[in-house]
Structure 1
Amino acid sequence: MSIDEKKQAWQSAVEKSMAKAPERKSSFRNSSDIELDRCFAPEFEYPGYEENLGFPGQFPFTRGVQPTMYRGRFWTMRQYAGFGNAAESNERYKYLLSAGQTGLSIAFDLPTQMGYDSDASMSRGEVGKVGVAIDSLADMEVLFDGIPLDKVSTSMTINSTASILLAMYIAVAEKQGVSADKISGTIQNDILKEYMARGTYIYPPKESMRIITDIFAYCKDNVPKWNTISISGYHIREAGSSAVQEVAFTLADGIAYVEAAVKAGLDVDEFAPRLAFFFNAHNDLLEEVAKFRAARRMWARIMRDRFKAKDPRSQMLRFHTQTAGCTLTAQQPDNNIMRVTLQALAAVLGGTQSLHTNSRDEALALPTEESVRIALRTQQVIAYESGVADSIDPLAGSFMVEALTDKIEAQALAYIEKIDALGGAVEAISRGFQQKEIQDSAYAYQRSIEKNETIIVGVNKFTVEEGAPQGLLKVTDEVEVKQKASLAKMKEGRDSAKVEASLKALEQAARGTDNLMPFILDAVKTYATLGEIANVMRGVFGIHRETVVL
C-alpha cells in the first residue's frame, strides 16, 4: 500500500470518528483561499515513514496523539497562578476564566509544597510568596468558591504533598455535589525530578514512590478522569539541562514510575493511560519542535516494547508545556513577550495538549493582571490568527526537523541506556548521575553567555540604561499574619477528637501496606491540616537528605 493509499485509509477512519467529535470548521482555508489538508504527507515513497512518523493518532504518535489535533479543538490554555491567600487567588482564577482561559493551573507557596503549615517556624517569611498558602480543607473551599469543579480542568503543581492536595480537591468537589469520578485535572506528583533538579521533597525515594503508586491505584478506581502524574522535564530544563537531557531524564523517570506501579501489582494498561508529561519550551524553536516529536515517538516505543502495553492510550505521550522561566530577563522585560511568543509557537508546532505562557515581569516579581492578560492573549493570537493550528504537524518532512528529531531521539536513548546500566533512575539519582550532568550543562551554558558566544538580547548585547521597574506585584507580610489567624480560628472550631482519630488511623496505615489515599482523604475531611498529615508520614517514613554532587 502506498503512502497516498495509507493516507486515504487514515482520512476515512478520521472522518468516521468525527461524527462524535467534529472539527472546529467544515473547511480550513488560508487568506489566499487555499484549502489546507488535515495532515500533509509525502507524495512519494518516504523511507521509514510508517515506522517513524505515521499519521496523527496512530503509533508511534510522532505526528500527534489525536487524529484531528487542533482542528478538533485547541490545546487547553492555562495560566499558572496563585499567590497570597486563597481568597486573593480565587479572584485571579475568576479573572483568568473570564478572559478566556480554559483550565486552571495552581501555584502553591513553598510551605505548602514542603508539607508545613503557615504557622510553622519553617514557613516564616514564605507564606503566600511564590504561590497560594493552603493549610487545610477550609482554604481549599475558599480557593474554589464559585468555580464549578465538574466544568473546569485543574492542574496542580504539587509533588511531595500531592496526595494531600488531591484529597482536598476531591473533598471540595463532594461539597459542591460533584462526585470524584466527574472531576478532571492533573497533579504533578513527580518526586524523582525534585531529587535531581528542584528540591521540594520530604520523604526518602522508596516511601515517596509508595505514595505515588497508591495514588495511581486509588484514582484508577475512584477518580478515573484524573491524570495521576505529570512527569516533569520542565524543572530539569530550568535547572540547566540541554534539550536532549530533558527528554532522556524525564522519560527515564517515567520508566521508573511504570516499573514501580507494575511491581505494586497494577496492570500497565490500567494506569498508563492517565500518565501525563510536562515539558519546557525554550528559545530554539526548531530544536524544541523536534524535541517534542522525538519524546512522543520514544515513549510509544518504550511502552509497547519494554512494558508490553497493548492499549494505544498507554503508548501516547500527552504533555503540558510551559514557556521557559529561565530565559526571562529582568533587563528590558518587554523583550520577554517575544521570547514567550516563540516558545509558545514551538509548543504548538510540537503538538502540546495544554500550554502556560509566562508573563513578561516574572523575572522581577509575580505577574500583574496586565502581564497575565498579555501572556494569555499570546496563546489566543497563535490559536486564532497564525494559521498553524489548521493543519496537523505542519513542520513534518522538513529535512532539518526530521534530522533533529532523529538525533535527539538517538542521544536521549543513549542516556537512558546509561541510566539503566546504573540500575535505573532512582539508583542513578542516588549516585548523583543526573544532577552532575545537569550541573555541567548549566555551567557550560552560563560560560557561553559570559564569553558572548551565546547572545541574550538586552543582557550581553543591545543593552540600554534602565530605571527601576514600576508597578510590580508584591505579596506583603500581612498575608502571613492573616493566614496564621485564619488557621488558628479553623483549629478552634474543628472536632479535635475526630482529627486525632483520623491521624492515628493514617499512622497505622503508613506503618502497614494499606493504600494511604482513603486515610488521607478521611483526615482532610476532619480538617486535619496539611502539616499535621505530612508530619504523621514524616514520623513513619523519615526525611530525605540530599546527595551532594561536586
Structure 2
Amino acid sequence: MSEEFKQKVLNWEAKFGETLKKRPERREEFRTVSELPVKRAYWPWDADEFDPESNLGVPGSYPFTRGVQPNMYRGRFWTMRQYAGFGSAEETNERFKYLISQGQTGLSVAFDLPTQIGYDSDMEISAGEVGKVGVAIDTIEDMKRLFDGIDLAAVSTSMTINSPAAILLAMYIGTAEEQGADPAKLRGTIQNDILKEYPARGTYIFPPKPSMRIITDIFGYCNQHVPQWNTISISGYHIREAGSTAVQEVAFTLANGIAYVQAAIDAGLDVNSFGERLSFFFNAHQDFLEEIAKFRAARRLWARIMKERFNATNPRAMMLRFHTQTAGCTLTAQQPENNVVRVAYQALSAVLGGTQSLHTNSRDEAFALPSQESVQIALRTQQIIGYETGAADSVDPLAGSYYIEALTDEIERLSVEYIKKIDEMGGAVRAVECGFIEDEIHESAYKFQKAIESEDRIIVGVNRFQTETVQPSGLLKVDPTVRERQIERLQQIRQQRNNAAVASALSELEKAARSTENVMPPIFKAVKERATLGEICNVLRNVFGEYTHASQC
C-alpha cells in the first residue's frame, strides 16, 4: 500500500475537526452493543494482524474461520429447526407435524420447568407449571406420544434439557427402539450443558462436580451406542440472554467447553473421538456486524484451543459446529410487529456467520408461547433468507472486510483474556462456584439497562418512537387441565408397570451412582421399566445432593 494513500487517509481524518463543527455526528463515541469501540472507517492497517493464510484459511479447513464445510450452504441450507413444546405430548406432536409440513427440517423440543428440574407432574412443587413453558414428559410413554407418527430414524431432534439430560435421552432412545430404529443411526443433540445453568439460567439439580460426571458418562455411552448423536450443546445463548456481552458469550462458552473436554479426557475418552460430537449454541443478538464477527471468532478460537491445548489431530474434532437462536431478550411487548424485523436481521447475521442450525423467534413471544401463525412467519423468515436473498450463495461473503476482520480479531483477543483469567482461577467449574461468571454477566446487564434508560441505546418502540400498543390477538393458551391428565396417566402407569422391576432398576442406578460405573445403562433400564423422571432424579439426589447457590470461595 502506497505512502501516498496512507497520507490521503490521514488528511481525510484530519478534516473531520472542521466538518464536525458544521455537521456533528449522532454521538460523540460509537460503540457496539457489547461496548466495543467503532471507528469512523476501517482501513487495511486496522486489521494489521490479519493474515489470510493463518487467520482465514480456506472454507472447511483449519482454523475454520470461513465455516466448517467447504461449500457451506451451496450444498444444503442450515437445518431450519423451530423450537416447540407446550402442554401435553399430543399437543406438541401436532405442532411438530405442522412445522414439518411447512418445510421445517429438524425438530427441537422445549420441556416444561418440572421436567427440566427433575420433578414429576404430580409432585406438589410442579403445581402451576406443568406444560406451561414446554411439554411435560414424565415417562417414556409421554415420549412415545410426543413422537407418535414421526420416524425418529429419519429426523434430527434437538432437546433443550440439561440436568436430567441422561434420562430424557434414554427415553428418546427407548422410543426409537420401540419404533424399530437402530440407535446407532439416530441423529440429534441434547443440550446437556450444566455449567451455564448455575450463573445464567437456573435449571440445575446436582452440584457441579457430580453433574460433570454424569455428562462424561453420557459422552462415553453415546460414543459406543449412539455414535451420530451430539452429546452436548455448549450454550452461550443463555449467557447472552442473562445480559452478557458478545465477548463474554464467546469466552464463557468456550471456557465451559474447555472444562467438558478436560473432564472427558480425565475420564479416559479420546479427544479425537468425542470431540466430533461436541456442538455449540449461540445467540444472534441485535448488533448485526458484531454478531457475524462473533461467530467467526468463536469458530477460529475453538479450533485453536482443540489443536493447541488438547492436541487434537482430527480436523472434525476441531470444528465448532453450532446452532443459533435469535435473541429472545430483544423481543418487545411494545409494537410486537417490530419483532419480525428484528428476528430477520438476527437470523441473517447467523447465516452470514456460518451457523449449522437456526431457530427464529416469533413476534408474539413477549406475551406468550408463539401462535401457529407467528411460528409460520418465523419459519418463512429463514426460508426467504435461504431461497430469496442470495446471502447463502457464497461462502463467508464478508471475509476481507476491514471492519469484520478487525472486529473478529478483537473479539477473539478479548475472549482469550477472559479464558486466561478463568484458567488462573482454576477453570470454569471453579469460576462458577466462586460466582465470577455470574457477577460479570450481572455487571454487563446492568450497564446495558442503564444505557436504555438514559437513551444512550435506542430500542425502537420502547424508549423512542413509542405508540400505544394493542395486545395481539390469537395468543396461544395452554390447556389448564394438562396437569390433571398427566397425573391420571402417572397413576395408571404406576398401577400397570412391574413395580418390583422398577425398584430393582432404581437400586442398580443408586449402586452405579455411588461407584465409578457409567450411570447411563441403569438409567436406560429404569426408563424401559417405566420408572418416572422424578423417581430417577430422586435416586440421584439422594446420592449427589442438590446444589445450593452460594459462593464457595
Normalised to the residue count of structure 1, the TM-score between the two structures is 0.91
Root mean square deviation, CA, Å: 1.2
Counterpart amino acid of residue 379 in structure 1: Q
Q: Once the two structures are superposed, what CA deviation does each residue of 1:269-291 show, in whole Å capped at 9, x if it has no partner?
A: 12000000000000111000000
Counterpart amino acid of residue 488 in structure 1: Q
Residues 460-539 of structure 1: matches in 2 within 5 Å? 460-539=463-542
Tell whether 2:131 aligns with 1:131: no
Q: In 1, distance between residues paired with 2:448 and 2:226?
A: 42
Tell whether 2:343 aligns with 1:335: no
- Are the aligned partners of 2:434 and 2:551 in contact in 1 as well (CA < 8 Å)? no
Deviation at 1:480, TM superposition (A): 1.1
- Are the aligned partners of 2:364 and 2:472 in contact in 1 as well (CA < 8 Å)? no
Which residue pairs with 1:105 in the alignment? 108
Q: Once the two structures are superposed, what CA deviation does each residue of 1:274-318 show, in whole Å capped at 9, x if it has no partner?
A: 000000000111000000000000000000000000000010000
Deviation at 1:144, TM superposition (A): 0.4
Deviation at 1:548, TM superposition (A): 5.7
Tell whether 2:157 aligns with 1:150: no
Query: Tell me, what secondary structure is at the counterpart of 1:192?
Result: coil
- Are the aligned partners of 2:433 and 2:551 in contact in 1 as well (CA < 8 Å)? no
Which residue pairs with 2:282 in the alignment? 279
Deviation at 1:47, TM superposition (A): 5.8
Q: In 1, distance between residues paired with 2:205 and 2:511?
A: 19
Which residue pairs with 2:238 in the alignment? 235
Counterpart amino acid of residue 158 in structure 2: S
Deviation at 1:419, TM superposition (A): 0.3
Residues 30-109 of structure 1: matches in 2 within 5 Å? 48-109=51-112
Q: In 2, distance between residues paired with 1:46 and 1:236?
A: 29
Q: Once the two structures are superposed, what CA deviation does each residue of 1:170-227 show, in whole Å capped at 9, x if it has no partner?
A: 0000001001101100000000000110000000111000000000000001000000
**Cα distance change on mapping 1:544 and 1:47 into 2, 3 Å:** closer
Query: Tell me, what secondary structure is at the counterpart of 1:336?
Result: helix
Deviation at 1:267, TM superposition (A): 1.3
Query: Tell me, what secondary structure is at the counterpart of 1:186?
Result: strand
Query: Tell me, what secondary structure is at the counterpart of 1:230?
Result: strand
**Cα distance change on mapping 1:414 and 1:496 into 2, 3 Å:** same
Which residue pairs with 2:379 in the alignment? 376
Tell whether 2:432 aligns with 1:429: yes
Query: Tell me, what secondary structure is at the counterpart of 1:241?
Result: coil
Query: Tell me, what secondary structure is at the counterpart of 1:145?
Result: coil
Q: In 2, distance between residues paired with 1:466 and 1:443?
A: 26
Q: In 1, distance between residues paired with 2:428 and 2:52?
A: 32
Which residue pairs with 1:303 in the alignment? 306
Which residue pairs with 2:252 in the alignment? 249
Q: In 1, distance between residues paired with 2:135 and 2:551?
A: 30
Query: Tell me, what secondary structure is at the counterpart of 2:82?
Result: strand
Q: In 1, distance between residues paired with 2:430 and 2:248?
A: 17
Which residue pairs with 1:446 in the alignment? 449
Query: Tell me, what secondary structure is at the counterpart of 2:196?
Result: helix
Deviation at 1:63, TM superposition (A): 0.2
Q: Once the two structures are superposed, what CA deviation does each residue of 1:492-533 show, in whole Å capped at 9, x if it has no partner?
A: 111111111101111111111110101100000000000000
Q: In 2, distance between residues paired with 1:317 and 1:65?
A: 7
Which residue pairs with 1:267 in the alignment? 270
Which residue pairs with 1:223 in the alignment? 226
Counterpart amino acid of residue 91 in structure 1: E
Which residue pairs with 2:364 in the alignment? 361
Q: How many residues align?
A: 506
Which residue pairs with 1:118 in the alignment? 121
**Cα distance change on mapping 1:47 and 1:321 into 2, 3 Å:** closer
Q: In 2, distance between residues paired with 1:512 and 1:204?
A: 17
Which residue pairs with 1:160 in the alignment? 163
Q: In 1, distance between residues paired with 2:441 and 2:263?
A: 25
Query: Tell me, what secondary structure is at the counterpart of 1:400?
Result: helix
- Are the aligned partners of 2:233 and 2:278 in contact in 1 as well (CA < 8 Å)? yes
Which residue pairs with 2:402 in the alignment? 399
Report percent identity of matched pairs.
68
Tell whether 2:420 aligns with 1:414: no
Counterpart amino acid of residue 291 in structure 2: E
Query: Tell me, what secondary structure is at the counterpart of 1:147?
Result: coil
Deviation at 1:411, TM superposition (A): 0.4
Query: Tell me, what secondary structure is at the counterpart of 1:160?
Result: coil
Structure 1 stretches of at least 4 aligned residues deviating more than 4 Å after TM superposition? none
Deviation at 1:469, TM superposition (A): 3.4
Counterpart amino acid of residue 332 in structure 1: Q
Deviation at 1:547, TM superposition (A): 2.4
Deviation at 1:46, TM superposition (A): 10
- Are the aligned partners of 2:167 and 2:533 in contact in 1 as well (CA < 8 Å)? yes
Which residue pairs with 2:355 in the alignment? 352
Residues 160-179 of structure 1: matches in 2 within 5 Å? 160-179=163-182
Q: In 1, distance between residues paired with 2:311 and 2:53?
A: 20
Q: Once the two structures are superposed, what CA deviation does each residue of 1:358-397 show, in whole Å capped at 9, x if it has no partner?
A: 0000010000000000000000000000001110000000
Q: In 1, distance between residues paired with 2:229 and 2:255?
A: 22
Tell whether 2:189 aligns with 1:186: yes
Q: In 2, distance between residues paired with 1:129 and 1:548?
A: 31
Q: In 2, distance between residues paired with 1:538 and 1:62?
A: 42
Q: In 2, distance between residues paired with 1:522 and 1:364?
A: 41
Deviation at 1:157, TM superposition (A): 0.2
Query: Tell me, what secondary structure is at the counterpart of 1:320?
Result: strand
